[in-house]
Amino acid sequence: MQLLDAGAADEWGATFTADGSFAVPTLPEPVHGRDNLVAMMRRTAAELAAAGDQRRHWHGMLDVRPQPDGTVLVRCYALVFSTLEGGEPRLHRTCVCTDVLVREDGELRVRSRSVTRDDLR
Amino acid sequence: MQLLDAGAADEWGATFTADGSFAVPTLPEPVHGRDNLVAMMRRTAAELAAAGDQRRHWHGMLDVRPQPDGTVLVRCYALVFSTLEGGEPRLHRTCVCTDVLVREDGELRVRSRSVTRDDLR
Amino acid sequence: MQLLDAGAADEWGATFTADGSFAVPTLPEPVHGRDNLVAMMRRTAAELAAAGDQRRHWHGMLDVRPQPDGTVLVRCYALVFSTLEGGEPRLHRTCVCTDVLVREDGELRVRSRSVTRDDLR
């Protein structure tokens, strides 16, 4: 999440598997593949930078469940804070994030991430 | 906390001991016993569902102190977020939560939980 | 952070090394030395108490990097919540905190802490 908020697209993309997917409520379809994820993130980071909007993503209250097939299922809460340059910090979103993690080269990577927003039900 | 927010009353109740107690500032007396805890939570969950209010409880900044008698004293901060259907997310409460945990059947369960609210002093 | 919010100045000061430093955006220079840190914190705690302002500092999203020289570099996010007596809780600040930790007497202590605020860029 620090990589995401810093606009470090490639490093953030490397936390997903090459075929990783990311589903968010504002997109009609999940985004598939690290290249597409990185491209999506670059666009978003450029828009936020142009708007002077510093986002901070917090994950917490992790429910971590190793699965028999070696993957790890994580369901956690997510908060997104937003601060415009010179402005007051603001709670932007509260979300739930469900990840399927796999081990690759000794690291846990995201094979699929699915986010729901509490304001969109 | 995920069980609480999901309205999973029995599963949430199982995180307390059978004689567990819960003290909150809005009740004149602590609630004692898992059955009473579950009943209280069901009522609250039904009210929140009727109001279209999705709460999210975050615990953090844990101070964990194992005691000589085998119990574990935990003092942590708590945040409660509230989102009405179609509305903006809102910081609802900041609290402090003090738990006495005991081990039962290989799990840590809450024997007593006491919550204070920063807005009520 | 619980010590800070409780106004426990000496105990909070003991989480720094004797020559520890603390840099915040609202001070022209970092504060150096445990005695000066404790004195600064006492002043702030007295002002907040006089204003009836209960602050809550949350650290999260820790990026922990042990260094070859035995120190530990931590970059984390920080939230500050504020509640006036009888008032609504409020998100006061979102920050980034960078610590250099060292081991002393079997404990990790802060040798330097540097905080940036998202609203001041």
All residues of chain C having their beta carbon less than 8 Å from the beta carbon of residue A58 are: 60-61, 77, 79
When pLDDT is averaged across residues B13-38 and rounded to a whole number, the result is: 96
Cβ neighbours around C59 below 10 Å, total: 16
Stretch A8-29: mean pLDDT, rounded? 96
Q: DSSP state, B85?
A: T
Is the per-residue pLDDT at B26 higher than 90? no
Within chain A, residue ranges assigned H as helices are 2-6, 9-13, 34-51
Asked whether A2 and A95 are in contact (CB, 8 A), the reply is no
- A26 pLDDT tier (thresholds 50, 70, 90): confident
Residues 6+ apart with CB under 8 A from B120: B25
Per-residue pLDDT tens over the stretch B68-90: 999 999 999 999 999 999 899 99
Q: How far apart are CA B31 and CA B42, in angstroms?
A: 14
**C-alpha distance from residue C118 to each of B112, C1, C23, C57, C95 (Å):** 38, 19, 15, 15, 6
Using alpha carbons only, give the angle C80, C85, C90 rounded to the nearest 5 degrees.
30
Averaged pLDDT, A5-14: 97
What pLDDT is recorded for position C7? 97
CA C59, C119, A89, A7: dihedral to nearest 10 degrees?
A: -70
Model confidence at B66, pLDDT cuts 50, 70, 90, reads: very high
Residue type, B44: T
A84, B117, C2, C60 from A78: Cα distances, Å: 20, 23, 23, 12
State yes or no: pLDDT of B121 exceeds 90.
no
For chain B, give every domain's residue range: 2-117
Q: What is the pLDDT of residue C53?
A: 98
Distance CA B68, CA C15 (A): 25
State whether residue B1 sits within 8 Å of chain A by CB.
Answer: yes
C61 chain-A contacts, CB cut-off 8 A: 1-2, 57-59
Q: What is the pLDDT of residue C26?
A: 87
Share of chain B above pLDDT 70, in %: 100
β B107-117/B16-23 pair status: parallel
pLDDT in tens, A35-88: 999 999 999 999 999 999 999 999 999 999 999 999 999 999 999 999 999 899
Name the 3-class secondary structure at A109: strand
Cα first-last separation, chain B: 24
Q: Which residue has the tokens 């002093």?
A: B121
| A109-120 pLDDT per residue, tens | 999 999 999 999
Chains with 3 or more CB pairs under 8 A to chain B: A, C
Regions of chain C where pLDDT drops below 50: none
Q: Measured between beta carbons, which residues in chain C are less than 8 angstroms from residue A83? A: 94, 118-119
CB of B55 within 8 Å of a chain A CB? The answer is no
A94/B83 touch (CB, cutoff 8 Å), yes or no: yes
DSSP state of A48: H
Which residue(s) pair with A55 in the sheet?
Answer: A82
- Return the CATH class of domain C2-117: alpha beta
SS3 B2: helix
Average pLDDT of the segment spanning B19-29: 94
Phi, psi of C18 (to 5 degrees): -60, -30
Interface of B with A in 60-89 (CB under 8 A): 60, 81, 83, 85-89
The amino acid present at A113, given as its one-letter code, is: R
Phi, psi dihedral angles at A19 (to 5 degrees): -105, 20
Residues in CB range of A17: below 8 A, 6 or more apart: A34, A102, A104, A109, A110, A111
Whether residue A2 and residue C77 make contact (CB cut-off 8 A), yes or no, is yes
Neighbours of C67 (CB within 10 A): 11
